């Protein structure tokens, strides 16, 4: 495992020249609060890039557009030399999107949102607005779509709940074409199929640590082919 991580970091570092600068924004939901976000952050930090990570469990585009938390879930951040996530501000309240974007302009922005909107089968206007705002503050924007979900690994959700979300994944991706003019889409479906390392979950939705790392590696290869 250690040698694999060393290889990944060496590869990412060697590709640093492909990035037209040194400022990166990572914005997303619980997937990016977990191992996937951690891997992305540390891989980019290892090559000397300045990284701003903001994430929120259960969040969708509207929560970032309107700076409103989903229920009692908190906004978390990891910026600069931070070694771990912490609350965005006092008691984990969401902060205005402009405050996040004012850390830019960014050379690269990675947005990972969508899983918490699968119930609705398609994106809404807040997704389009968020893509426009983020792309206006970054030279390059990549939107990471939701991964496959696993009803057979469901834990803590009602019977059939995860399967219902999974059944709407392709419809949701079709609607994401509306944001592709602002942010290039990273399709997570091929790399998170059942049977692949990145397809393993802890509860049917969230990745195991190994799966989260593998998914992040896939994203990095999309950005730095």
Those residues whose C-beta lies under 8 Å from the C-beta of residue 141, and which sit 6 or more positions away, are: 108, 109, 110, 111, 131, 134, 135, 182, 183, 184
Does 52 or 2 have the greater pLDDT score?
A: 52
10 Å CB burial of residue 91 (0-12, 13-18, 19+) is exposed
Look at residue 11 and tell me whether its pLDDT is greater than 60.
Answer: no
Judged against a pLDDT cut of 80, whether residue 201 lies above it is answered with yes
Does 3 have pLDDT greater than 60? no
Give the integer Cα–Cα distance in Å for 121 and 176.
10
In a domain, 133, yes or no: yes
What is the pLDDT confidence band of residue 21, given thresholds at 50, 70 and 90? Answer: low
When pLDDT is averaged across residues 15-36 and rounded to a whole number, the result is 82
Backbone angles phi, psi at 107, to 5 degrees: -85, -30
219 burial (CB, 10 Å; 0-12 / 13-18 / 19+) is: buried
**pTM for this predicted structure:** 0.89
Q: Note whether residue 17 is domain-resident.
A: no
Q: Is residue 6 part of a domain?
A: no
Look at residue 82 and tell me if it is in a domain. Answer: yes
- How many domains, in total, are found in the chain? 1
Tell me how far apart the alpha carbons of residues 189 and 170 are, in angstroms, rounded to a whole number: 9
> To 5 degrees, how large is the angle CA 145–CA 146–CA 147?
120
- Distance of alpha carbon 156 from alpha carbon 78, whole angstroms: 28
Q: How many CB atoms lie within 10 A of CB 59?
A: 27
Q: Kindly state whether residue 18 falls inside one of the protein's structural domains.
A: no
Alpha carbons 213 and 58: distance in angstroms, whole number: 20
Residue 2 belongs to some domain of the structure: no
- N-to-C CA span, the chain: 22
**Residue 9: inside a domain, yes or no?**
no
Q: Looking at residue 28, which CATH number applies to its domain? A: 3.40.50.1110
pLDDT of 48: 87
Q: Is residue 13 part of a domain?
A: no
**Edge-to-edge strands, sheet with 108-112:** 86-87, 75-79, 50-56, 23-28, 108-112, 141-144, 184-186
Boundaries of domain holding 104: 24-223
């Amino acid at each position: 495992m250690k040698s694999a991580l060393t290889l990944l970091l060496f590869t990412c570092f060697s590709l640093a020249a492909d990035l037209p600068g040194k400022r990166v924004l990572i914005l997303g939901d619980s997937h990016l609060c977990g191992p996937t976000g951690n891997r992305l952050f540390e891989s980019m930090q290892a090559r000397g890039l300045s990284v701003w990570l903001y994430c929120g469990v259960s969040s969708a585009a509207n929560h970032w557009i309107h700076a409103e938390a989903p229920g009692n879930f908190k906004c978390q951040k990891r910026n600069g030399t931070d070694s771990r996530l912490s609350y965005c501000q006092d008691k984990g309240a969401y902060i205005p999107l402009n405050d996040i974007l004012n850390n830019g302009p960014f050379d690269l922005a990675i947005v990972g949102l969508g899983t918490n909107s699968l119930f609705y089968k398609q994106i809404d206007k807040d997704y389009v607005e968020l893509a426009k705002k983020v792309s206006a503050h970054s030279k390059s924007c990549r939107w990471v779509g939701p991964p496959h979900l696993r009803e057979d690994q469901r834990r803590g959700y009602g019977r059939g709940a995860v399967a219902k979300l999974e059944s709407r994944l392709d419809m949701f991706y079709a609607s994401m074409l509306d944001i592709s003019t602002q942010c290039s889409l990273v399709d997570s479906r091929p790399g998170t199929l059942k049977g692949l390392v990145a397809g393993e979950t802890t509860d049917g939705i969230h990745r195991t640590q190994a799966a989260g790392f593998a998914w992040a590696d896939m994203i990095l290869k999309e950005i730095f082919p």
